[in-house]
Structures are given as structure tokens and as C-alpha cells.
Amino acid sequence: MAKKEVSMEDIYSQRPWLKNYDKHVSPNLSYEDKTFCQLFKEAVAAYPDKPALIYLGKTLSFKDLDVLSNQLANYLIRNGAKAGEVIGLNMPNIPAHFIAVIAVQKANCISTGLSPLLTTPELIHQINDCGAKIVLTVDVLYEKLYEAAPKTNLKTILVSSVADFLPPVKAILGKLLKKIPQAEVKPIAGVRVEKFMSAVRSMPKTAVEGSKGMDEVMYMMYTGGTTGPAKGAQLTQKNVIYNGKQIVTWCDITPADTFLCAFPLFHIAGLALGTVSLTYGITQIAVPNPRDTKFLIEAIKTYKPTAMVNVTTIFLELMKLPEFRALDFSGIRWFMTAAQPFPVENIREFESIIGPNKLLELYGMTETSPVTCCLPRYGKKKAGSIGMPFPDTMFKLVDPETGKLAALGEPGEIAISGYQVMKGYYNQPEETAHAIRDGWMYTGDIAKMDEDGYFYIVDRLKDMVIVSGFKVFTRELDDVLCEHPDIAMAASFGVPDPERAGSERVAVAVVLKPGIAKDDAEKEKIIAFLRSKVAPYKVPKRIIFMDQLPTSGVGKILKRELRQMVTQNQI
């Protein structure tokens, strides 16, 4: 019998990844149309006295969060928050932030994360773009809001403190010994500025029942704005809650789990995991400073988490510390990394520390609520792969130049269809129409798929460098560079070629390992190494030694900043 030929169109529609799903994962899940508020209410009823949040030794139960969020929701409503309005949350992972996430939903409003790393003009843009009139912040971040407020329509700012919810003696001593940061909170003309704790305590504990529907917007999270001002991705209750069900099913999460997540709630990854913990009755250890590796090590020792989620750079920093290597990881079921690839050459070493088959790399983006693809929880993990699409999620790879489907093993832009895909960008119909076409979210990420349905990120479409018509995928080049024994970290990127209009040159920023000289001899050594590994057009024309690479608030290397630094002759 002749073998049936499979057309290119069938490569992705046949979903070859399904044969590699873990046994406990179905290709299609059963979802309940219950909103965040309904699911949180059920978690409170089932686990009223269970720790929902562990913060610097202080424990807040699910019942505590319920009561406090009722009080905050009452405050928001009494201070003019209308259903469907956006409220800004400008805080690290402190109790006030978790309480606010819940309260905003109870008040039928929409929350948006305001990153502490935003410049004042960026902060003004985001507040004005989403129309926020109420913002919650922390005293150590207040100065930027003080500067931004006169150029916005802000009416109310609630100011929390890192010391909030700590025992009085610990809070006082912490401030006196300057272990707890604090800052002056100055009045702003025409804006109500109040302390978070005073505002909450002045309100009744009367239950506030959110009444949003599944298709109403829950979160408005802003993208990085690499192609202009940041855009607000509108994520509905269905987007977020259904994706939460997918995450819980895929990772085999149970209420017995305890999460240690350094991703902040103002980032979509931290917000997604925080949403899961609050709606599934899971304890979360709050991490106020995601870069504090000593805190993370002590938290593992003290609170015995069962799952740990971090950006790759934090895991790489932890690997350098003897105290981390000496920990007992037998109780941690899985480690998850997102936002940046885990270098293949470091995975084996990391697993020698934490135990085999525990590292899950995933793929997600703000516009998809966020997770769409992940390595299997128990099954085969291929180094360098982001895994396979979630249940009820379709991937296809499209040649960005021709619009045709990429052949098996060939690179193409990832397009995604599934419950996770956002409603659209807020007030950006043209941008939405460009991103979402015929129900598919075009991501701007270039990937390949192997015969088993595992996907591999090759590059960002905008990070792909065109050298005299040849495509250079910088992710692949970065992986090769990190194989060099002298290199601790590397990021390759494109800069305009002054000799060829419309063409680019490859440049690379390198952080060397301690003790390696930053001289021309080392550059020649790196170039010789690359010439033996990659095609001539991929070899960088410029190597820049740096003490550290620019990163985002969650540790993601910012190649756009490197490009800007070169074009502006800053490096």
C-alpha cells in the first residue's frame, strides 16, 4: 500500500506533538466558565486558614486576603472607581500587590502593571494611554509618580510600604537599621495621596462580589514597546482563567504545592502564576526583590517550596553560589524558566544540581496570557527546546517573506491560535489587525519544529540580522558563543552597515569570565573560534567587552538597548 504523502499544510494541523504529551494531559481540556472572583471565593471557602502568602516571615491566609481585598475594593468603589476602569499597580511582590490584584477584580475594574523600571515619560504614557485615575504604589517608588502625576489625570494614589504587614517590632527595627527601604511621600496638588494601610483599615469588611463576565477584560498588560510606545494587551477573564487551567493541568499542580516565584506581579509571568496560586488554593512565597539570590536560598531552606519559577539569568547566578549548590532540592518537583532561553551548555550542569528531568522551559508572551508552549512535566525534555503547544492550542510556522507555511525543520514565524490569544491592543485597531490575522496571533518569533512536534526558538523576527541578503539568527549565534570557554554571557545583534545600504553587520556584546583579559588577542581568539563553527557571514564584525549586559526587570537581555548604545556611540 502506497504511503500517503503529507502536504505542508498538514504538518502543523496533524499536531505531531500530541504523541509526546504526558499521559495525564488530554489534547482538549474541560473548562468551567468561572471568573477569577468566583474561583478565589471557592479557594477561600476550601482553604480559609491555609497560608496564601508568606512574606518576610509573616503569613497571610486565604481568609486574610479575602477580608483585606474586600476592604480595598470598598475603598476603590467609594473613591470613584467605575466598572471597566483601569487601575495601575506599581509595586514589587509585597502583600499590598496581591491584595490589590484581587480587589481590582472585586470592584469590576481592570488592573495594569506599572513596572518600577519605567522612565517618567514611559510612566506618563502608560497611565494616560489606559486612562488610569487610581494607582497603588510603594513609598520607595513614589518619586516617579510624584513627577508624572501633574501630566496625567490621576486622582488617587495609595502608598504602601515594604514594612506593611510585618510585626511592629520587626518593622521598626528594620527601618532603624535601614534593612527596610523607605522614602518620603510628598503631597501632590489635586491628587488624594493616602497610606495603603490607613485606607484599608478605614473601610468595612463587607464582601464585594465581582460580577464580570468571562469575555470582559481582566488585565491590561503593556508590551515592551520595541516598535514604538508600549501597547496595552487586553486579556479577558476567559484568556487568563483558561490558560490557568492549562498550566495547572500541564504541570500537574495541586493545592499541596508551594510556589517560589521571583517574577514580579507587574510582569505577565508573575501575574499568571499569582493568579493560579490565588484561584487554586496554593501557597506563594513573596519575593520583594527578584535579584536577591540570598533571599531565594534562605526561602528554599526555610519554606520548602515544591516549584520554583525564575528568569534564566537568576538561575545562572544561583548556580555560581556554593550555598545554592549545597541545598536539598529533593522536595522541589519542577523548576520553570521563561522570558529568555536557558543556554543548552548550562542545562546539564543545572540539572546536576537540582536533579534530572526537572527543568521546564516554556514559551509565552503578554498577548497570549501568557503560556502557549512548554516542555512536558514528566516526558522527554529536549535541550534548547521550548517544548510543545498546550492543549487546545495550535502552532504553525510561516515564512515571513512569502506567507507560506515553513517546511518541517525550516524556520518560520510562530503563529498561535487558542483560548489564550488576547482580545486585542487597547485603542490600537491597526496594530491589532497586524498582530491577529484570521484568528492567528503572529508573534514575531522565529522557530523550527522537529518531527516529534517540539519547537525551538531561532530568533526574534526583529533580532534577525540580514547580512547582504543572508539571514543570521542571533539566538543560534549566542548559543555558539556561550560554548567558548572564556565567555560567561554573550548577546549578538545587528547594526547598520555603513558600506551597504539596507544591509547590516553582526555585532556581539560579551561578558568574559573572571580573570580573562579584555584585549585584542581575546577578540581574535573568539573570532577564530566562531570561524570554525559558523558560516563566514555570521562572524561578527565587532566584539564589545562589557562588565554586564543591559537587562529588563526580570533579567531578560535587552538587545534593542545594545543596538541603541552602538548607534549612539555609547560603546
Element (H, E) at 62: helix 62-78
pLDDT for residue 178 is more than 70? no
Backbone phi, psi, residue 443, to 5°: -90, -25
Largest CA distance in the chain: 83
Say if CB 370 and CB 309 are below 8 A apart: no
- pLDDT-derived band at 181 (thresholds 50, 70, 90) equals confident
User: Smallest Cα–Cα separation from 397: which of 469, 456, 337, 470?
Assistant: 456
What is the identity of the amino acid at 146?
Y
pLDDT for residue 509 is more than 50? yes
CB atoms within 10 A of CB 273: 24
User: Smallest Cα–Cα separation from 494: which of 469, 470, 474?
Assistant: 474
pLDDT for residue 9 is more than 70? no
Count of all residues that appear for the chain in the document:
571
So what's the pLDDT on residue 8? 47
pLDDT for residue 224 is more than 80? no
- The lowest-confidence range among 85-89, 184-188, 225-229 is 225-229
- pLDDT-derived band at 3 (thresholds 50, 70, 90) equals very low
- How far is Cα 267 from Cα 314, in angstroms, rounded to an integer? 16
pLDDT for residue 7 is more than 70? no
pLDDT one-digit tens code per residue, 381-391: 999 999 999 99
pLDDT one-digit tens code per residue, 226-257: 345 789 999 999 999 999 999 999 999 999 99
Say if CB 496 and CB 504 are below 8 A apart: yes
- How far is Cα 314 from Cα 427, in angstroms, rounded to an integer? 35
So what's the pLDDT on residue 501? 63
Residue in the structure block whose three cell numbers are 526558538: 457
- How far is Cα 534 from Cα 480, in angstroms, rounded to an integer? 8
What is the identity of the amino acid at 555?
G
C-alpha cell at 115: 513596572
Say if CB 111 and CB 87 are below 8 A apart: yes
- How far is Cα 451 from Cα 432, in angstroms, rounded to an integer? 32
- How far is Cα 487 from Cα 26, in angstroms, rounded to an integer? 42
Torsion of CA 268, 273, 274, 279, to 10 degrees: 130
pTM of this structure: 0.86
